[in-house]
Chain A
Amino acid sequence: MRQEVLGIMDATQLVKGVLDLAVLAVVAREDGYGYDVVRRLRAAGLEDVGDASVYGTLRRLYSAGALTSYVVPSDEGPHRKYYGINAQGHAALASQSKTWAAFAGTMAGLLDEAGVKA
């Protein structure tokens, strides 16, 4: 998984940087279709995440082989596309979590030195 380069330090950019990780985490918990994932992310507190960004991320993770996808036909209306996590996805999730934790720790240290409470 490639690392996103952080740009301007605002919440939106931060989210973009770790969206892969967030999406993997949500899907790992339970399979979901596009908007379902969006809703769960928002419920968890990532309110500013854009719909299209989530869909795009799902697509990219799927293309990279970290997610599976299947279509669920519906009698009532259009089909829904569900995403689920696979072994490679789990591995990516684990590794990226570590990277994130390390990064967060580094940041905390830096901020501490600057005398700023996180």
Chain B
Amino acid sequence: MSCPQWNEQWVAHLYGELETEEAGRLERHLETCVACREQLERLTESSRLLRRAAPVVPATPRWTVVEPRRGLSPAWAFVAGLACASVMFALGLFAAPRLDLTAGSGPEIATLDTARIVEDLDRQSAQQARLERRLNAFENRLGQPGASTVSGITEPELEARLDALARNFEDQRSADMRYLLGEITATEVRAGTWVDETRNALRFVALNNDPRFTER
């Protein structure tokens, strides 16, 4: 077993962050302690394996800034625009199967009502927060010993309720995303250009081999 007083120094030494004097003391210790030498070798190997296993990071998604609507606070317009634009790709995974990407004519031209969208987002967030609180309450009851017996509800019944809540939550989330994407594609910020970008983005999502999108 290695000497525990050197535990922190091992990792600092491994990554070359040990002070010169301390590194010297460690080296001298290693010359005489076989257990510590072996421990350092094991740590080095773990570090090497982890570095080799580093996953490839996909391309960073593109963020789009929407110009503020006249009369609306620029901060809120930016928040709404950034929120709406940047979830497009993720929302497309849920809503794209319901949209006809090959349709010829685009939606009617209208001004993006960022204030209303922000209000809707806030309302949906509040609904999700309420669902979350209910789930927390159920989870706390599940975690208490004998709770299900005291309340007269069996564990399978509690689990079934949790299951139903989870499905409700996911259904709500899917409905929120469909609604948001419907709002975005039904309006136009810049004449023509925005619609094309939206469609190209959705078409890109459609061409990805994501089973959640390609399933009918």
Q: Do A and B associate with each other? A: no
Q: Which residues of B contact A (CB under 8 A)?
A: none
Q: Which residues of A contact B (CB under 8 A)?
A: none
